[in-house]
Amino acid sequence: MPGAFYVRAFIKQYAEAVGLNGDELLESYKTDIPSPTNDDVSKSIPATPSRRSLGGRTSNKFMEAFPMIVVALFIIAIIVIVWILYQNKPEDSKDVVEPNDNVVIEQKPQSEHNTKDPVVEEQEKEEPEEPVEEEVVEEEPVAEEQLTFVETQGETSTYNLTGGENYVLKVVATNKTWLNIRDQDNKILVDQAVSAGETFELDVTNSSKVRVRLGSTPGNTVSINDQVVEFPTDMVTQNLVIQFQK
């Protein structure tokens, strides 16, 4: 700072700007602030308006303008209401129908039905209508499903199932076994354990062939569309290949 005078003036103006008492602040820290040669010079410096005073002026101006704003809004609302009412005003009917005393009533000629002889009409009513023969459409016989054994090679036995459109594979487990089912592309459809007393079902309609492998065959039953597929051998682990021919 250029001098003690400017130090005291700066502190006082800053204190008043933030809402503090500059004189009390100077008094509290007079030991730390250098004393000027002339204290009256600092008092002659105009005080900077504080935030409170600035806020008060803004509020006063807003309160003075508030009635004018309300009146302006009221006038705008009246104009809008009048415009809406004018737009919804029904148009006067331009077509006025003048009364006419000379009313002409046209007589329609009697229909042919009324010109018939009553006796003829009675006879037509008494005549019975001929029955219409309904066309009978013969349904094509549905091919019966037939499960045929083909061959056995090692632990794999092959069957053909002809007829039918939908195929549901069912495994009824009397004893616990491991179940593995694959489709014609050797894709695994099921690979899980089946507990004793559990029944497992799988819809294989979209497959042309399935291979069913049981880890333990004794006491367990495999069927396709409720037709039992027999295990030809006594081997514990066997494969059943079922080929579908729709």
Domain range annotation of the chain: 4-48, 146-245
**For position 40, what pLDDT does the model report?**
47
Tell me if residue 206 falls in helix, strand or coil: coil
Distance between CA 150 and CA 163 in Å, rounded?
16
Q: Tokens 């030809």 identify what position? A: 232
Q: To the nearest whole number, what is the mean pLDDT of the chain?
A: 79
pLDDT in tens, 171-187: 999 999 999 999 989 99
The model's pTM: 0.43
Residues in CB range of 130: below 8 A, 6 or more apart:
none
Tokens of 48: 């900077």
pLDDT in tens, 24-76: 888 888 887 766 665 545 454 555 555 555 555 666 788 888 889 999 999 99
Kind and range of the H or E run holding 199:
strand 199-203
Confidence band of 81 (pLDDT split at 50, 70, 90): very high
Q: Which of 44, 230, 80, 246 is nearest to 238 (CA)?
A: 230
Q: Which of 222, 206, 202, 214 is nearest to 147 (CA)?
A: 222
